[in-house]
A and B are shown apart, each in its own frame.
Chain A
Amino acid sequence: MTSEHLERLLLDNTASIFRFANKVWIADGLGGLYLPEAALLVISDLHFGKGSFLKQHGHPLPTYDTIATVDLINTLIERYQPSTVLCLGDSFHDMCVGERLSVSETHAIRSLTEQVVHWIWVLGNHDPDIPNGFSGEQVITWRMDDIVFTHEPLANTGTAHYQIMGHFHPKLSHVIKRQQMTGKCFISSKHELIVPSLGVYTGGLSIDDPVYQEVLSSPAQQAVLCYQQKAFLVPLNK
């Protein structure tokens, strides 16, 4: 990743740049979070196998979601060339996904994990365990400097001052000149950063929902809106 490359991404709004926990982060319009200083890519709530989970109950849904989500991750890996990819939980929709995945889907996920040096699965409420046959480190939380990465918010972050989480699938609606724009988003307060869901069959929870007030220890300061696959910084000073 060169600085020219990064500049290009910022210039055409493919990604947006912001500060959190005394570090500079890149929020990608597809929903990935990149930390240049550690060559770390964070993705959250992939929900692999959600389509087939619903389909087994007789919903005639198309089940292209897993492959479509893998395609998104591939794009992000190509774009940022990370040395570490951290999945922030709910990577697999349920405990039985392993049995439902096709050979090609298993292969596609496996080749994802094999193309980066370090792959980390933070475990979530949907996937307290990762199906067999996928490499990567499995952890409950992951720590880097002053930051703890977790799926659901931690009441007690120990010695860490900051936490980065998934789980909530934040989205927001922004109105400018009577035009409304809605999309998934990153949202941060002083000590917490919530990453949007990446899985193509995942819905969102509006950041107006009171649950965010409980999760964020101080009022949200800014959000990055993902809209038409691009990223836009939205100040939230109310």
Chain B
Amino acid sequence: MLPKQDVVTPVSLSMNPYSGPWTKAEAAHLLKRTLFGPTNQQILDAVSNGLNATVTALLQTPVIDQPLAYDPAETIVPMGSTWVTAVYPANATQAQLVENARIKSLGAWMLKRLNTEQTTISEKICLFWHNHFGATAGNDSRGTYNYLMTIRQHSLGNVKQLVKDITIDPNMLLFLNGGTNNVFSPNENYARELLELFTIGKGPQIGPGDYSNYTEDDVAAGAKILTGYYIDGLRSATLPSPVPVYNAILHDATTKQLSYHFGNVTVANNNANEYSDYIDIIFQQNEVANYICKKLYRYFVNYDLTADVETNVIPVMAQTMITNNYDVLPVLDELFKSEHFYDVSLRGSIVRGPLEMLMGMMNPTESVPNYTLTINSDLYLTIYALAEGMGQAYAAPPSVAGWPVYYQSPAFTQLWINSTTIKSRFDYSAAFTILTGIPAGSNFFKVNALGFVDGLSSPSDAIQVIDDICDVFFPKSIDAAQKLVLKAILTNGLQDFEWTLQYNDYLGNPGNTTFSDPVKIRIQLVLNRVFKMPEFQTI
């Protein structure tokens, strides 16, 4: 084999509104980047609604259910109701047992969110910010819930406000030690990541302790600025949630000097609001918009920030962000309507992460568990563990920088695939389709093969079934020979009309497994093959 050749780089770098064809291919591209896995019908709806209306509808944050108690170890609230503002038992051992129940409920809730997402970008953008801030679940699930909801609240809103709220969020105060950062013993953990990862980003080291955009002294000054907060109410038997508390005695009241990167400004004592003043100063640097827009680009468009992209695309995004005072929505609105976003060279440029792979099997097939609350929750936890085994545990990124696939050059999202994880992907593909399924109480959960095929454009037409499957699961069309292989699995090697007859028999005999089982099995076999194809591993 020859060395890898030039990658075809985008033809269009224009951020002007896209005005080309609006077909299933373009609509599917948009939905695959903004959802965890669109159905065929969602793609068709996007085609008929048009680009602008689809983007507008995607950029919304719907209301979601709260996590519900289901494990009997939850002794404070009744089963089936939420615990997110409930106290803990006063006894520490009892409190731990309750927390064990709550973290399970929370974990199930995270996966349920992804599995039952509406046609909005909400879950994708929440995962983006979750990766951006990188905090893991704390030891009080109410705090973890609140942290995730703070992200959700601002996920399409104002970045500056998001950073401010996260800065004094108890889960973050716990994760990066802001809650023990005080005048007597400054802890610079949060102050460092605030600059390095959350806002302005770290540039090359251009001098001793000078990282292009800030200095070590800025980190130290930032730590002083942020002093004074501690966390109250962790696992409290009286307070409904952990809260940040400001205590002036713990705050460093001196005037802090920032470096030339921030215009050598000083930050005067402003007690509980000083952190907010500091974040305002950081956000005065346009590099913040650049840094965040690059991360958005990598997450939604392509890992490869070519020189052309840095010259033509990122500055436009950043300018839109600055013009809108750091609101995210206008940036995404412009991006998803741009010529560049629909450039064909970018189709399939992202390797699915474990959650995108698992939800990529479940969501397009409308496979949503419909058992009891307990069984559903335990099943979601099982799926959580499958994702964790492949390297992506929600609320537990491997470090504060998030998952390496979003920053680790040169492989980026290819890092998801290695000899261990590819085997897992193959195993789970089979488990969800042709094998017994994922245990769910006394049942086994598999993809909803019949529901899936029923929802396709023309389920009795074998050629159309395969075409729809390709639209739904692959980022670009596959060649005719590959389609024939898939169709041969569907028809079991017979002529196409045999499938038509079989499908129509099933339709004509509702509830009769004699007719439905063969249809189900053919679809399961096709999906088993599809999920193991390299093409499926990308979006």
A and B interact: no
Chain B interface residues (CB < 8 Å from chain A): none
